Amino acid sequence: MRIDKFVSLSGFGSRKEAKAILKSGGVTVDGVVVKNPQTRINPDVSVVYVGGELIEYEKYVYLMMNKPDGVISATYDEDEKTVIDLLDEKFQWFDLFPVGRLDKDTTGLLILSNDGGFAHRALSPKKHVKKVYRAEISGEILDRHITAFAAGVVLDDGYRCMSAILSVIPGSTRDLAEIIIREGKFHQVKRMFEAVGLSVITLKRVTFAGIWLDESLAPGAYRRLDEAEMQIIGNLLSKD
């Protein structure tokens, strides 16, 4: 890894700021001052000090984002703004990607990481990871709709979904719903409602893999996962 990338990834600012630190002589690698930003190091072996502070390499990063409406769940797009475009420059170095996807007009919890192992387990159809959504529906949610979701809705292509839990959000009108699913087919929640004669006006994901959306995050805002949330990640990675 280039030393300027390593310094930036370690929380010392943008690539430009990392180069300035290097130029000033503030970085040593294995006891030797390094000023050339293109110098390559082994982050798992090299001993790096920045401004006299020993730096421990952070291989994986996990962020929680409150995805806003109108942004796509992708790493790059020529025409559309992506969730990666919303990140500060210091996180651009990590080659983060969305773990799963939310539709352009779907909001709420999205995990961003560079941990392919976590993404594989979280998205594996065999894991049946729980996802919770809240939706505003054009129509009234009736008992027959709840029963249909529990039985397994048949989508327009003939696929029968796994049993899902549909409920009216307590204290609300019957057009505000909570949906719990354990799979992730293309546009699944919207297609499930369409299959029972209803349509979705707004859709927000609030839970993914046991991690709940931090409601204090404004749309488009993000933060690192906290210790308890990282424990959930660890538990998922440890399961067979």
Which positions are catalytic?
103
In whole angstroms, what separates CA 6 from the centre of its chain?
23
* 164 close to 183: Cβ distance less than 8 angstroms: no
Q: How many angstroms separate the CA atoms of 126 and 122, rounded? A: 10
Nearest to 134 by CA among 64, 195, 181: 181
Computed from CA positions of residues 124, 128, 133, 137, in that sequence, does the dihedral angle turn out positive or negative?
A: positive
Number of Cβ atoms within 10 Å of the Cβ of 87: 16
Number of Cβ atoms within 10 Å of the Cβ of 52: 7
Integer CA distances (angstroms), 68 to 31, 37, 195, in order = 46, 36, 26
Q: How many angstroms separate the CA atoms of 67 and 238, rounded? A: 28
Q: How many angstroms separate the CA atoms of 162 and 185, rounded? A: 11
Q: Where are the beta strands (DSSP E) in the chain?
A: 27-29, 32-33, 48-50, 53-55, 62-67, 97-98, 107-113, 131-138, 165-168, 176-181, 199-208, 211-212, 222-224
